Amino acid sequence: MGGLATNVTALHLRNFIDGAWVDATGNDAFEDTDPATGELIATATKSGVEDVRQAVEAARRAADGWRLTPAPRRGEILYRAGELMLRRKEELAREMTREMGKILAEARGDVQEGIDMTYYCAGEGRRQFGDVVPAELPDKWAMSMRQPLGVVAAITPWNFPFAIPTWKLMPALVLGNTVVFKPASDTPLLAVRLVEILMEAGLPKGVLNLVLGPGAVLGDALVSHPGVDLVSFTGSSETGAHIGALGGRLLKRVSCELGGKNAIVVMDDADLDLALDGIVWSAFGTSGQRCTAASRVIADRGIAAQLTDRLVARAKKLRLGPGLDEQNTDVGPVISRSALEKVHSYVGIGEREGATVAAGGRVASEGALAKGFFHEPTVLVDVKPNMRVAQEEIFGPVVSVIETASLEEAVRVVNSTKYGLSCSIYTRDVNDAFRFMRDAETGLVYVNAGTIGAEIQLPFGGTKSTGNGHREAGRAALDVYSEWKSIYVDFSGKLQRAQMEP
């Protein structure tokens, strides 16, 4: 694997446009480095507006042929892609850990999620159901069917460099759309690997095109290009708002999956051992770099002190290190120096607002860790719901503990941010659990589990500033990447006027 996109002397990643691996027209490049060690992994071609134009035009040329390919045949290509992913799972996971930093066990999970999504969407090649409904007039047939939108621009983040692209590419492709894929510039290698797999599985020329490079330039070019029919974006709420505004002026369909400020509620009757496991996993897994990461723990006053003491002890035992060191590493690096600086700045912001650092709080700078971007798992206490650390997305291994006196107060705190992606509750009271499920203003709700771990067969997405109403994964994803067409067949042999006949 890799021969399609690399040369024999060095790993150099290129665009994939109209069935060929090509360098960007500007002949510029950027570096892809290991966030744990600073080592160079690859260079990647740096695309510009002209490369976007070429990619979109290639996708448009391929659109009719792919649209007219029977959906079951499209599904078969995805099935073959899933088989290739499965065979290469370990290799893909190891490359992901080097490129993005997450520990190897999590990288394997990321790849597995991509496999799951690919198989799931392959099945939709034979399940793109419409409706046949009774017509109100005699000798008339009424039905609906899905049709592809055309060209999809898929703009994906670095934190799930394999799984999230499959969330976008697989439903788009099985529904008959062609795609221009723009991955995060921090993780170009996994994007190249995914494209290689899909092409090896038999995807026709021009159906999938890849452009590598910076988000601001390429993103705006894709959103504003008249040949792009849908923009699917995952990233920050600020960037999503910009994309939504730009696309809206062009009456372009835009699907945004954005930020989160997720909370775990722990009631006084909870199993604290189970709750602690969920908090540690949700707050510090992927070094807190998930849109569903638990950034707040909302603890009932009756158990808050005990829970906090135990959480602090657990956080202090977590070991930082390279993700490939499975025996000695619990938490890997954050993605970049700028991310490290942002995460650490929130420790100071919290302290200035009155929070106390109970665990962690420092950039790791000793020994080999100094070569990478490591931040200690951090627990902030004495946090009030209106503090910035309790309101703003940090996207790092920092969790704030907030005390509340009742379920009602806990729900108010859960709902007090501008985000609405994920939340969870730990309780043995079934009535409290159902009240929480009903009243939490989030797209994902967990009971006696953490805030992470969504499965691909259910809709994924949130409310408020977490997105613009669309959902990824599950059958709901089909509505994002297709358009409904209603069809009426009148075989009466005469003019029949709907709503006007007796």
Active site residues: 257, 291
**Token output for 266:** 């722990």
Cα–Cα distance between 477 and 400 in angstroms, integer?
33
Structural contact between residues 41 and 220, judged by C-beta atoms closer than 8 angstroms: no
The closest alpha carbon to 380, from 365, 393, 363, 397, belongs to 397
DSSP 8-state secondary structure symbol assigned to residue 25: T
The closest alpha carbon to 109, from 75, 155, 169, 159, belongs to 159
Contacts of 435 (CB under 8 A, 6+ apart): 407, 411
Three-state DSSP class for residue 6 = coil
Structural contact between residues 463 and 422, judged by C-beta atoms closer than 8 angstroms: no
Residue 354 burial (C-beta neighbours within 10 Å; 0-12, 13-18, 19+): exposed
Q: Determine the number of helices (DSSP H) and then strands (DSSP E) in the chain.
A: 14, 22
Provide the 10 A C-beta neighbour count for residue 53: 14
Residue 271 burial (C-beta neighbours within 10 Å; 0-12, 13-18, 19+): middle
